[in-house]
Structure 1
Amino acid sequence: MTVCCQKSLYWPGCWLWGLIVCLTIWASMSSARAQGSCAPVRAPQATLEFNHKDPMLDRHRSVRWLNSRAGGGSKYVVAGLTEYEMQASFDMRIEPREVGLGRYCLDPVRVNPKVNVVKHLVYIASELERGSCEYNAVYAHEGEHVKVNRGMEADIRAALDDLVNDVVGKVGAMFPMPAENVQSAIRRLLSEYGRDFKRRLRDIDRRRREEQRRIDTPEEYQRLSLSCGPNSAFQTVLQQAVR
């Protein structure tokens, strides 16, 4: 808003009046800005509970069982297999904070995602003797799958940091709201960020599966089948056992 005074009016108090109006407008805008800020007064308590499960080796499954478990259909014999499974939950707490004039801001006080690894199994065909060239080759190959699975924790921690920043930024940018809107806003935010956390985990798991597929290539299977010579168990014992 601009207040203009023309000298031709010969009104001595014009400039003083304009100054008062401008100061009033500035004070009103400052008050509105103060009321419109919901920046959190403290950082939320953000903790990630990641419960590991060290990979367990199972050498009691036949190569026939492994091929059935892997879905079959491959022209290569499946002599090793790694299975990984996790479960996740998300706990978030938001509290209202009164800022005056019957209006409230929302403060995220706790962000607590939990990830439990419920299965991490490495199978190596029972037909392979421990310490043999074939056993060591399969063991090393499955070890690459284990590395990918373990590397997911760093990705999940980074996703948590991004999620916390998103929560603080979005909730802090909200305007104060009347008391009757508080509970519905809290439910909406809890639902929204619960879905967001699950989406982030799905994205991480999808990338993990893509990395796993890059390990299991026809070229890698061909290399493994020839790694212990032309008459190794890959071409003899395992081929016979899977029939």
Structure 2
Amino acid sequence: MAAAPALAETPPCPPDPPQLRLTVTDPEPVFSHALTIDGLHRETGLPRSATLHHLGLTTSRVEWQSEIETRYRSTEGGVCARPATVSLELAQTEHVVRVAREIPKGSCLWREVSAHERRHVAVNRRSLRQAAAQAKAAAERWGARAEGRGATLDEAMASLQQGLRQAIEPALAGMRAARDSAHREIDSPAEYERLSRACPADQKRLRAAVRPGAKPGLLVHDPVR
């Protein structure tokens, strides 16, 4: 009986560790005075009530992208690829601070609402940098042992991309959780109470404009991000 042909073995991967390049893109936020209070509520999906009138809203979107240059070896048994250079970018692609159109620019209440929103901006910017540092460390750990194998180079590359995504996702999930927690701390009942008592003359004019006949002390605030 003839011996069965030996199966082709996949080749060993190139041994060199990759170089990592990290870019953080975080432009200054855009301030907008275009939306009314009703417009801000449409953005959040939360209806107005006797105690809820959105005067400000800060929105942020973070995206990431990567590019992997590889070294690889191939045989009849398939391809083994390792990252040679990993370029990773985290970008705040949207960062908008909206203050309700009913609040006159430069007024006392405008300054109070803007200052409150800037605290949310600071959280977004700080958490982005923390996430970038954590993602870089995770990518370095992954890159030190990463191998992508497949029948073709495309399959091996896809394996590497999937591995990188899995490596850095915990850093991005941690950023989202940290943002939610920090924004809730800013949007505390005490802070909303303080805002509702700030700039009484402006508050009176605002109540007359948005809800005629409302009682003094109307609570107005922005939503949790």
Same fold (TM over 0.5): yes
Q: Which has the larger radius of gyration?
A: 1
> Any idea what SS the aligned residue of 1:206 has?
helix
Contact 1:92 1:111 in 2 (8 A): yes
Change over 3 Å in CA distance of 1:120–1:184 after alignment to 2: closer
151-160 or 65-74: bigger deviation? 65-74
Instruction: Give the paired residue count.
Output: 195
The residue number in structure 2 matching 1:233 is: 202
> Any idea what SS the aligned residue of 1:196 has?
helix
Which structure's residues are more often helix, by fraction?
Answer: 1
Which amino acid is 1:120 matched to?
H
CA deviation digits over 1:43-93, x for unaligned, max 9?
422112332231111123222322332333462321111111132222223
Change over 3 Å in CA distance of 1:185–1:226 after alignment to 2: same
Contact 1:64 1:242 in 2 (8 A): no
> What is the CA-CA distance between 1:203 and the residue it aligns to?
2.6
> Any idea what SS the aligned residue of 1:211 has?
helix
C-alpha separation in 1, matches of 2:160 and 2:34: 48
Which amino acid is 2:34 matched to?
H
2:171 to 174, 182, 200: 200
Which amino acid is 1:167 matched to?
W
> Any idea what SS the aligned residue of 2:202 has?
coil
CA deviation digits over 1:85-141, x for unaligned, max 9?
13222222332359xxx9997532111122332221111122222332211111110
> Any idea what SS the aligned residue of 2:71 has?
strand
C-alpha separation in 2, matches of 1:181 and 1:125: 56
C-alpha separation in 2, matches of 1:164 and 1:69: 35
> Any idea what SS the aligned residue of 1:95 has?
strand
Give the % identical residues. Answer: 27
Change over 3 Å in CA distance of 1:190–1:63 after alignment to 2: closer
1:188 counterpart = 2:159:
yes
> Any idea what SS the aligned residue of 1:86 has?
strand
> Any idea what SS the aligned residue of 1:140 has?
helix
1:91 counterpart = 2:59:
no
C-alpha separation in 2, matches of 1:152 and 1:205: 8
Contact 1:63 1:125 in 2 (8 A): yes
The residue number in structure 2 matching 1:27 is: none
C-alpha separation in 2, matches of 1:211 and 1:59: 25
The residue number in structure 2 matching 1:110 is: 85
> Any idea what SS the aligned residue of 1:91 has?
strand
Contact 1:70 1:78 in 2 (8 A): no
1:60 counterpart = 2:34:
yes
The residue number in structure 1 matching 2:139 is: 164
1:78 to 54, 59, 73: 54
Which amino acid is 2:67 matched to?
D
Change over 3 Å in CA distance of 1:233–1:72 after alignment to 2: farther
Which amino acid is 1:80 matched to?
G
> What is the CA-CA distance between 1:225 and the residue it aligns to?
0.8
Contact 2:67 2:86 in 1 (8 A): yes
Change over 3 Å in CA distance of 1:49–1:111 after alignment to 2: same
Which amino acid is 2:69 matched to?
R
CA deviation digits over 1:200-228, x for unaligned, max 9?
32331232122112211222111111122
Q: List runs of 5+ in structure 1 lacking aligned partners.
A: 1-36
The residue number in structure 1 matching 2:216 is: none
> Any idea what SS the aligned residue of 1:93 has?
strand
C-alpha separation in 2, matches of 1:150 and 1:164: 21
CA deviation digits over 1:169-213, x for unaligned, max 9?
333xx7xx9x96987555433312223334432331232122112
> Any idea what SS the aligned residue of 2:94 has?
strand
Contact 2:79 2:151 in 1 (8 A): no
RMSD: 3.1
